[in-house]
Structure 1
Amino acid sequence: MENDQVWEQMRTEAEEAARKEQALASLFEEVVLSQDSLESALAVRLSRKLAYHATPEGYLKEVFCECFRSNPKIGQSIRHDILAIKQRDPACRNYLAPLLYFKGFQAITCYRVAHELWTNGREELALYLQSLISEVFAVDIHPAARIGCGILLDHATSFVAGETSVIENHVSILHEVTLGGTGKVAGDRHPKVRHNVLIGAGAKLLGNIEIGQGARIGAGSVVVEDVPPHATVVGVPAVVVGFTKDPDPAESMDQCIRS
């Protein structure tokens, strides 16, 4: 990708980090400085993390590279994710951190590869990759789920998204969130999260419900009904407690519930 500012900035940060922390210099060299693209760097980093005795690291790396080559939109989504993390997460001080350290970003990126495999008929490999993602990152996203770009999956531990889940663009999700079903219902059975939504830690969204654009879901809430656009809902079960004037709660990350 020409004029890839995210990748160029990442390389600059890796060079500086290697000078400052010699103990990690080989990591920065292997993952970033010796690579020619962000996609290549991700293939190296993630295949190493996911490698298991049944699947060699080299094979997983080639699977990642193949998916990145065949669908450039994956790389575009990845860059939007990095920009979203840098913008919204005060703990993210540079572009390098998500690639090397943030398991939420790493898990979403692995999901993107699994989803590409799933949509191209390689369902067994997609499900196998899903199982590895769950074991390594404690994040369980079905490869058939549809997730947009500009996603912040903050902390990420115990995030679950079922088979028919939909997450549109520019959404922020904290840890222990579930997009689940309500039992043994088949078919379209998981939540649809629209643009610019903020979902607080520990929230459970259950069933084929719609979370309207710009809505806020309070931490620990259990949501079993549709949420109107720009509404704030809290509680068990969740109820509407107001409407926010903030056009993009996912970006502002304001989780304070005001009466």
Structure 2
Amino acid sequence: MSLTVTELWSAMIAEARQYGKNEPVLASFYHASILNHASFANALSFHIAAKLDCDSVPAMLIRDVFNEAFENDKGIVEAAALDICAHFERDPACDHYGMPFLYFKGFQAIQAYRIAHWLWQQGRVSLALFLQNRIASVFDVDIHPAAVIGHGIMIDHATGLVIGETSVVGNNVSMLHSVTLGGCGSGPGPRHPRISDGVLVSAGAKLLGPILVGEGAKIAAGSVVLSDVAAHSTVAGVPAKQVGALSAELPALNMDQYISEDI
């Protein structure tokens, strides 16, 4: 069950206090990252900006941009809270709400992308592209700022993730490392996949071209997907073909990567 931003922030504060007591070596880390801030948004801007810091554009300036985006689009912070809840609910290795915020680079990269996307929408293309480059360098996650990504997103491990310019990703989607939403062709118009709500894209899958992946579909690990995928179906292979039976469930929510039975 997802928490509101206020509920999530209260839970993270309680966790940080307890974990700081349990491990005094990290007490200052928890204080600087969480306890020293008046709100979830303030902590988020501080923590992610510190990750993206560089000599030419220091963390303080990056944080100012984050705060400007948060002030003008409240949905960015709400989406971040839903992303944390997605990790907590779907990843058995995540046993407290602060883990994605503090340690998971998939979560951190998505939040930084959200700022780059906001900048792109404001016509501030140069700064959006700068953030894209920093995100790729720091997190090994390359997301074009023009891509459209929903909320409740879990990117597990995240290393090697690529999401191209005209990609569209719905809500409550789960992806693993080395996934590519890649383009096909060089002309105008959509060149990248559209991923519907509740889709699970397993490790190493490559989805290429302006294809549609229907709601609740499952993409098996290592697959190369070159054509549309029906809703609630499972595809696997190179090139990917439908396998297993249709399921009404949303595999992104339970992270079930098995093929239930033959067609």
8 Å CA contact 2:185–2:191 kept in 1: the answer is no
Partner SS, residue 4 of structure 1: helix
Aligned partners of 2:245, 2:208: CA distance in 1, in Å?
Answer: 21
Residues 192-228 of structure 1: per-residue CA shift (max 9 Å, x gap): 0000000010000000000000000000000000000
Aligned partners of 2:184, 2:200: CA distance in 1, in Å?
Answer: 22
Residue identity in the other structure for 1:255: Q
Partner of 1:230: 232
Task: Quote how far apart the aligned CAs of 1:24 are.
Answer: 1.0
Spell out the pairing of 1:81-230 with structure 2 (5 A cutoff).
81-230=83-232
Aligned partners of 1:50, 1:77: CA distance in 2, in Å?
Answer: 20
Residue identity in the other structure for 1:172: S
Residue identity in the other structure for 1:124: S
Q: 1:44 aligns with which of 14, 31, 46?
A: 46
CA pair 144-251 structure 1, distance change in 2 beyond 3 A: same
Residue identity in the other structure for 2:22: K
Residues 106-162 of structure 1: per-residue CA shift (max 9 Å, x gap): 000000011011101111000000000000000000000000000000000000000
Q: 2:249 aligns with which of 231, 247, 250?
A: 247
Q: 1:35 aligns with which of 34, 37, 40?
A: 37
Residue identity in the other structure for 1:165: S
Residue identity in the other structure for 2:118: E
Asked if 1:14 is matched to 2:16, the reply is yes
Measured on the aligned residues, the alpha-carbon RMSD in Å equals 1.1
Q: 2:58 aligns with which of 41, 53, 56?
A: 56
Structure 2: state its 5+ residue gaps: none
Task: Quote how far apart the aligned CAs of 1:183 are.
Answer: 4.1
Task: Quote how far apart the aligned CAs of 1:248 are.
Answer: 1.0
Aligned partners of 1:116, 1:208: CA distance in 2, in Å?
Answer: 23
Give the percent of matched residue pairs that are identical in Structure 1 and Structure 2.
Answer: 49
Task: Quote how far apart the aligned CAs of 1:186 are.
Answer: 3.6
8 Å CA contact 2:194–2:213 kept in 1: the answer is yes
Aligned partners of 2:5, 2:120: CA distance in 1, in Å?
Answer: 31
Task: Quote how far apart the aligned CAs of 1:56 are.
Answer: 1.3
Residue identity in the other structure for 1:78: A
